[in-house]
A and B are shown apart, each in its own frame.
Chain A
Amino acid sequence: MKIALLGNPNTGKSSIFNMLTGLRQQVGNFPGVTVEKKQGDIKTKTGIHQLIDFPGTYSIFARALDEQVVEDVLLNIQHSDYPDAIIYVADAANLERNLLFFTQLYDSGFPIVLVLNMWDRAQQKGLKIDTELLQKQFPLANIVRATARVSIGKSRIIQAIDTLQKGKNTPFFDFNIGELQTDRAQTENTNARLEKLRQLGIVQDLQIKASNRSNRLDQILTHRIYGYLIFSAVLLIIFQFIFSFASIPMDFIDSQFVELSSWIAKLMPEGVLSKLISQGLIPGIGGVLVFVPQIAILFFFISLLEESGYLSRVVFIMDRLMRPFGLNGKSVVPLLSSVACAIPGIMSARTISDWKERLITILVAPFMSCSARIPVYTLLISLVIPKTYVAGVLNLQGIVLFGLYLLGIVFALGTAVILKLLIKSGKPGFHVMELPEYKTPRLYNVGLTVYEKVKIFIFDAGKIIVAISILLWALASYGPNSRENNLSKLRKKASYTAANQVQKQELESSLLLSQSYIGHFGKWMEPAIKPLGYDWKIGIALLSSFAAREVFVGSLATIYSVGNDTDNNKRLVQKLKDEKYEDGSSVYSLATGGSLLIFYVFAMQCMATLAVVKRETNSWKWPLIQLAFMGIIAYLCAFIVYQLLS
């Protein structure tokens, strides 16, 4: 049997889902749209049933993208996800409004289990719920109580599934919900249903007051000064965790994969297959897994904040600030996360229900300077920006670094404004939102979210990343001339024979890269990048750093025959400083360095981000548009900077 899990937002629906299915969950999309579909199995006495978690909605009438999925599936009996039965989760502490959607489903004729969740909170609030009266009104529904946050009610729900009754029921209000098309008809129907529900008097003792604790906290957390201060402090803590702790597992993953590569290379007979695996495939997989620590840490915090109820207060205080840019308060977390890494940032844009606002957020997020740009910025700044002090105290290099971050933010918001005008949208966005009560986060739910996001990244985006990195490896390792041919010429040179073993190695890799397809392509495109102040060697580094921005540093090290590790960074800087054109002028002048810095602020030099955008927008159209406009902006701005400085 196929069972749909439905209910309003903030009713603990996902806790119910996790409680019923445990770790046996699959996450995907509903067909044709990027709305998350979670699926899992429930074992009951009558067999194994498939439970599908739908987005939380207030009614069957759709406005936003995720609501549209609910309407499309429930009103179309031919739909592949059309359910045989429904588990409806209602917040018992807020029953009357929660029952509205339930009555629409009941009247549509679905066999239905009504779960009165958060039963404990209803009790604490002093609400008396007349379940007998409720049962009398909806005779064919199986009504059960639950408190999913503490795993109460699982067996009752499973039992209720097995005893579901099918049959024609008397509608609570009327049958023709699917036929209500106009705003007026829908409003009137909803109004009348709510009125009828209230008249029943299912909930007594409505001495309602929003919990005082929530209210007092809100006065502080949404305060015009403290609110922003507290949010800044929260961000500071999150970024501390990412920058100081993510690097430990990231370095570990890196080094393990390097070892694995050399181990495989030794183990397998030398040849193309061995190289493909040890230099293409394994580093490719390593390049996917290296993102996992950042993704995991960010989603740990995001879902912790979401579970606690604080995240919706952040949305509340940031909404007005983001609106002029065609964004809303929900864009803040994706954009700020992108300062660490655009991948989790873009993945977290799912909470934005309005498609246009979500798309704009995804498209501009990679402008935020991510942590992979830091090695590039550091190298180039130490190369071309003098270590002087401005006004006696401000380090010029620090000011430039700050300026680069600021530039990214400015362009992210500026591009958003332009995209707001260019992208067409259907219905206007709807921003009425519940501010749920503060709750202690449940670590089980947080852990599951982290697990799922990591899994999605590895298996959905990972495939594309591995494929592109193998392609890039092949282009950088093979060329029109054979390897032996290239090397034999080099070995005759005096500079080579005089060199020691390490230097010989470095010279060989430098030559092989410049003779590879990427090397040839770099030379071929030199006229195109000349106006930006780059030579073909920089061209090669630009091309190979499409894999990831920090590869730029490693590629330069290879091209200039400087061993590729951090100890050699000083050697690399020196070597680059000494690099001269034939007329004696420096290759890495202030103009070229500045132009490169600007290029890296804007260019979409990250295949992993592209892969994630493809996954989150469900087509190649948007990542390719993004690649194009970021590339054009990068090229033009780098051109302007070079021309101004030279």
Chain B
Amino acid sequence: MSVTLDSILLNQQVQITAIPASALSPKLTEMGLTKGQKITAIFKAPFGDPIAYEINGNVISMRKEEAMHVEVQVA
């Protein structure tokens, strides 16, 4: 079952399955979000948005509306 990155639980590691082409997809890809990569939500800002993710040893912050562009599956 595929979900989007904004809806995963804290400290849950997931695997990126797809980033459909959109105005955001080139930017998301070049920040290291590519198919097959493992990514974990590590903490959230107050009000639950934006969310900080760990990917490949980097911590990146994304707004929920941006994280919605990334499809993941629970590893």
Contact = CB atoms under 8 A, between A and B. Distances in A.
Contacts of B46: 222-224, 227-228, 317, 320
B26 to A, nearest CB: 4
B63 A210 contact: no
A396 B59 CA distance: 49
B34 A194 contact: yes
Contact of A187 (B29, B59, B61): B29
A195 interface: yes
Contacts of B24: 430
Interface string B32-49: 101100000011111101
Contacts of A316: 45, 50, 52, 61
Nearest to A188: B21
Contacts of B28: 432
A573 B44 CA distance: 53
Given A94-B56, A317-B45, A434-B60, A183 B22 contact: yes
A179 to B, nearest CB: 14
Interface string A314-338: 0111011100000000000000000
A445 to B, nearest CB: 22
A94 B23 contact: no
Given A58-B31, A320-B45, A320-B47, A427 B63 contact: no
Contact of B52 (A184, A186, A222, A427): A222
Interface residues of A, number: 50
B37 to A, nearest CB: 9
Contacts of A183: 21-23, 25-26
B-side interface mostly: mixed
Contacts of A433: 60-61
Contact of B26 (A61, A222, A319, A436): A61
A210 B22 CA distance: 29
B54 A210 contact: yes
A2 interface: no
A408 to B, nearest CB: 25
Contacts of B21: 182-184, 187
A-side interface mostly: helix
A191 B59 contact: no
A190 B42 contact: no
Nearest to B54: A210
Q: Which of B30, B44, B47, B52 has the most CB of A within 10 A?
A: B30
Interface in A175-213: 182-184, 186-187, 190-191, 194-195, 206, 208-210
Contacts of B59: 210, 214, 218, 434-437
A81 interface: no
A312 to B, nearest CB: 8
Given A61-B26, A218-B52, A222-B43, A194 B32 contact: yes
A452 to B, nearest CB: 27
Nearest to A312: B61
A435 B51 CA distance: 11
A436 to B, nearest CB: 8
Nearest to A223: B46
Nearest to A67: B27
A483 interface: no
A219 interface: yes
A58 B32 CA distance: 10
Q: Which of B26, B29, B32, B60 has the most CB of A within 10 A?
A: B26
Contacts of B29: 187, 190-191, 194
A190 B26 contact: yes
Contacts of A223: 46
Nearest to B21: A184
B14 interface: no
A434 B66 contact: no
B30 A100 contact: yes
A420 interface: no
Q: Which of B42, B44, B59 has the most CB of A within 10 A?
A: B59
Nearest to A436: B59
Interface string A149-183: 00000000000000000000000000000000011
B72 interface: no
A227 B45 CA distance: 9
A431 B45 CA distance: 14
Interface in A221-254: 222-224, 227-228
A96 interface: yes
A59 interface: yes
- Closest 9 interchain pairs by CB? A224-B46, A208-B57, A184-B21, A186-B26, A59-B30, A97-B32, A187-B25, A435-B59, A190-B29
Interface of B: 19, 21-32, 34-35, 42-47, 49-50, 52, 54, 56-63, 66
15 contacts: A96-B56, A97-B30, A97-B56, A97-B58, A100-B30, A194-B34, A208-B57, A210-B54, A210-B57, A316-B50, A320-B47, A430-B27, A431-B50, A431-B63, A434-B31
